[in-house]
Amino acid sequence: MQNRLKINKIILFLSTAAAVIGILFLLWILLTLIVKGVSTIHWSILTEDLINGGIRNLLIGQFVMAGVASVIGIPVGLMAGVYLREYGRNMKLVNFIRNLSDVMMSAPSIVIGVFVFALMVAPVNSFNGWAGSVALSIMMLPIIISTTDSMLSLVPNELREAGMAIGGSKHRIILDIVMKSAKVGITTGVLLAFARIIGETAPLIFTSANSAFLTFNLNDQFPSLTVAIYNLANYPDEASRNLAWSASFVLTVIVLSINLTGRFLTTHKKRN
Amino acid sequence: METILEIKNFNFTYAGALEPSLKHIDLPIHTNKVTALIGPSGCGKSTLLRAMNRIHDIYPGHTYEGQILLWDQEAQKHNNILYLEKEDDMIALRQKVGMIFQKPTPFPMSIFDNVAYGLRLSGVKNHSELRDRVEVALRGAALWEEVRDRLKENGMGLSGGQQQRLCIARAVALKPSILLFDEPTSALDPKSTRAIEELIEELKQEISIVIVTHNMQQAVRISDYTGFMYLGDLVEYDTTENVFNLPKNELTKDYVMGRFG
Ligand SMILES: Nc1ncnc2c1ncn2[C@@H]1O[C@H](COP(=O)(O)OP(=O)(O)OP(=O)(O)O)[C@@H](O)[C@H]1O
Ligand SMILES: [Mg+2]
């Protein structure tokens, strides 16, 4: 009895300590970022391109690639998730895809970058925005697939039956009723996937690389905020490193706000 | 026609099951009457009911044997619904044979759209026709007065009893010839239960009704015919009066007197 109480106290102490240490590091990072970011940021960086010491083209490029990735990744991910939960009859195949998706979720993003490099960069001998977008869309897929899959599993079967019982075809009921019931959860998954890729660097280093100019030509090297930060931070001059800090600050604000929106949606759903 | 539905020598086996869950069922469903199905839990009442609109077919691999003959008013003859295979034919069947579940299942949309949804699926496009038919259906389900000012609100915001009447309105809107109720009041309070029972009395003017119930008083109150099922057999079928007052089978007698169940 005495012993067990003691062990309890020790474990409580250890886990509290671990949590405090974790939070301290997180706060340290955030604080540094805010101090350095705010002290170096200047409005002009939002209106100038990298070539003139700004990040306008980088922001636009990052969003263009994330947008193209979403155009590919969201429909494919949604359809795969719907297939797994609503149509898959062959349980072996379904479970294989589920496992594959789980493995992809934990695959290091650099591996995905190298894979797309071999597929879409090496053959044409040029970094290009399409490759970057595809790499990002591959990163989105497992997140969207698994949230869609599990959100659909929360929709009670009675609702599907009720839909069919008033004369709906299977695909209509899935689109109009089942997906609608799971809408908030699925949207959250999509947002989280987007937040994940908007801040990714590794899949882009070997695919889109970076460009100092504003361009919309995805066949060419493409501007990327994250790759730019990675490069700038390695430059010896003060100006580049300062720009890296302010760019990091902007990126963090963007990722945080997308994540918070996702969180807000989920808690809002729970209240309803 | 005297019987809207004739079930003949019907067997049903669930996918993967070794034994049939329903054996040699012979059951007529009389037109514009209420037929109650009673029996202890697991005897196959829901299984039988769910065969009548072939909702079982949402999940693959079940086996039907025998005949379920549905009266076709246009062709003036009975058709075996077990022959249907195409999705379109199933949809047409389910529009004729509506179903109300134990748990109310409002769709995640407005009250109006809950009723209009099935109508739209069946091809009604014209907005004023939709409005009229939604109103008629909601009146028919004794819900109109309660929701007329809040048709745009979400159907999930109604009380359990109101939700169940919304589901009835949704089914009634399609002008079905049969409505199947699977324990429609077992999740409801006594007041809502009474409302649904009165509604069923109303509906039977136009619609033939089959209701599964665990509540013996309910069967006596609202049904004209009663079938007693036990372990996948239809043990006894007769007018409700006879089943409850002069049961022929010992099992039936024990069950209606509340000796088991
Ligand atoms: N999906 C299924 N797969 C296999 N067997 C099933 C399935 N659903 C029901 N059964 C079996 O079929 C038999 C009849 O079940 P059914 O649900 O029709 O009973 P019920 O009379 O409606 O019972 P209750 O009053 O509890 O609702 C039971 O033995 C049950 O275990
Ligand atoms: Mg049942």
Domain boundaries, chain A: 1-40, 44-271
Q: Tell whether the model's pLDDT for residue A271 goes beyond 60.
A: no
Q: Which residue CA neighbors atom 4 of ligand 1 most closely?
A: B14
pLDDT mean over A16-39: 92
Classify residue B261: in a domain, yes or no.
Answer: no
* pLDDT confidence bin for B201, thresholds 50/70/90: very high
Structural domain range at position B250 = 3-256
Classify residue B206: in a domain, yes or no.
Answer: yes
Over the stretch B8-31, which tens digit does the pLDDT of each residue have?
A: 999 999 999 999 999 999 999 999
B174 CB near a chain A CB, below 8 Å?
Answer: yes
Over the stretch A197-227, which tens digit does the pLDDT of each residue have?
A: 999 999 999 999 999 999 999 999 999 999 9
Q: What percent of chain B has pLDDT over 70?
A: 99
ipTM exceeds 0.85, yes or no: yes
CATH value at residue B36 = 3.40.50.300
Of A247, A225, A244, A248, give the one whose Cα is nearest residue A234. Answer: A244
Parallel, antiparallel, or unpaired: how do β-strands B63-72 and B3-13 relate?
A: antiparallel
Instruction: Give yes or no for residue B21 CB within 6 A of ligand 1.
Output: yes
Q: CA geometry: angle at B117 spanning B115 and B119, to 5°? A: 85
Q: B176 vs chain A: nearest CA distance in angstroms?
A: 10
When divided into structural domains, chain B yields a total of: 1
Determine which of B88, B94, B103, B107 to mutate to test the interface with A (most A C-beta atoms within 10 Å). B107
Classify residue B161: in a domain, yes or no.
Answer: yes
Of A108, A105, A116, give the one whose Cα is nearest residue A209. Answer: A116
CA distances from A57 to A43, A48, A221, A247, B235 (A): 14, 8, 12, 12, 79
CATH for the stretch A44-271? 1.10.3720.10
**Residue that is written with structure tokens 């947008």 in the block:** A67
Radius of gyration for the alpha carbons in chain A, expressed in angstroms and rounded: 22
CA distances from A127 to A24, A57, A118, B79, B240 (A): 39, 17, 11, 66, 80
Q: Which residue CA neighbors atom 7 of ligand 1 most closely?
A: B14
φ, ψ (nearest 5 deg) of residue A74 = -65, -55
Helix and strand numbers, DSSP H then E, in chain A: 12, 0
Classify residue B231: in a domain, yes or no.
Answer: yes
Classify residue B64: in a domain, yes or no.
Answer: yes
